[in-house]
Structure 1
């Protein structure tokens, strides 16, 4: 068994240009696992904090209504959509809370990883658009800069982890992909990885 990290060459076409570089498979695997665990923690912590905000006796004390009604800038081109969401807290709140918990667990254990990464990216895109302080003419400023905030970073990170199939690295998806069901139904691989 070699103790040297194995190197590979990535060759792809990106934006009409050929891209080629060497990378270490070992360090790529460690970095994907680390990023997967960190993103799992982000979602799991956020969901559990919301779930337990009112204490054990009142698990749904957290509400998105205050944020949706008061924190979205009027200049945000989607402010009307978020105000509309505020009318459906009985649906939105559990989707956010339990969505974050389930996404966090799926990322942590590498189960249905691509589906969880997609759902997390969708949630992050909603948080990102909610943070817009203005529209296109204002450059979509957000609280901590123009265009880029942590939600956008998380969204892109989840896209990358899903593209690489990070759920296969010490994850349940590796075993699931070997099952007869997945072999007989190749479409199921879109949810795994």
Structure 2
């Protein structure tokens, strides 16, 4: 498998995303294993790294902007009068009014709860900062996936599709970014992984 997190290109001009061992020549009756290979050149691997880094930064900004808008009431999604710093609730509007479907009653009861507000805002800030800096990608991906899936359950069924919407896509992309080590390009992921704390606790990478 191509390691897109590696900033140094391999000396070989072509690698493969998937390889299988060839059957032993001496085993005449052994059926050949299926072989599916996709050649990836150095330029393609480099382009993929930078594309994933760009997606990581974009998603990080989505989460961080949501936090800032709800905190300060910047007028995009949150009016100034409803800013969290001015006593507004970042969950009252969405959970109290927009939640629909089988879990609407549960979310309506949670709307405006101080603990839920703090947890929601902490998640937005933590996920956004982690993605932008490229650190703690596993935690950020897991937390982001849980948050977006919960938001998906709050709007069931989606307006334009029987079940699929952008929340599920966000969750899948977040997990993919963590699996492919997207924090090492245009980010501090490599330095973060080299710290003694992360070396002792690899789940923090």
**TM-score band, normalised by the shorter chain?**
0.7 to 0.9
Q: What pairs with 1:6-21 in structure 2 (closer than 5 Å)?
A: 7-11=14-18, 20-21=37-38
Residue number in structure 2 paired with 1:107:
131
C-alpha distance in structure 2 between counterparts of 1:12 and 1:116, whole Å: 31
Q: What is the number of residues matched between the two proteins?
A: 174
More strand as a share of residues: 1
Matched, 1:78 2:78: no
Residue number in structure 1 paired with 2:193:
177
RMSD of aligned alpha carbons: 2.9
Quote the offset at 1:78 in angstroms.
2.1
Quote the offset at 1:93 in angstroms.
1.3
Look at both structures and tell me which one has the larger radius of gyration over its CA atoms. 2
Structure 1: stretches of 5+ with no match in the other structure: 134-141
C-alpha distance in structure 2 between counterparts of 1:92 and 1:12, whole Å: 47
The change in CA–CA distance for 1:65 and 1:57 in structure 2 (over 3 A counts) is closer
> Deviation per CA, 1:156-176, whole angstroms, max 9, x where unpaired?
110110111111223222112
Counterpart secondary structure, 1:20: coil
Q: Do the aligned residues in 1 keep the contact of 2:72 with 2:84 (CA within 8 Å)?
A: no
Structure 2: stretches of 5+ with no match in the other structure: 1-7, 21-33, 74-79
Counterpart secondary structure, 1:11: coil
Residue number in structure 1 paired with 2:76:
none
The change in CA–CA distance for 1:32 and 1:12 in structure 2 (over 3 A counts) is farther
Quote the offset at 1:28 in angstroms.
1.2
TM-score, structure 1 normalization: 0.77
Matched, 1:68 2:95: yes
TM-score, structure 2 normalization: 0.73
Matched, 1:132 2:156: yes
> Deviation per CA, 1:83-120, whole angstroms, max 9, x where unpaired?
3322x620111222232122111100111121111111
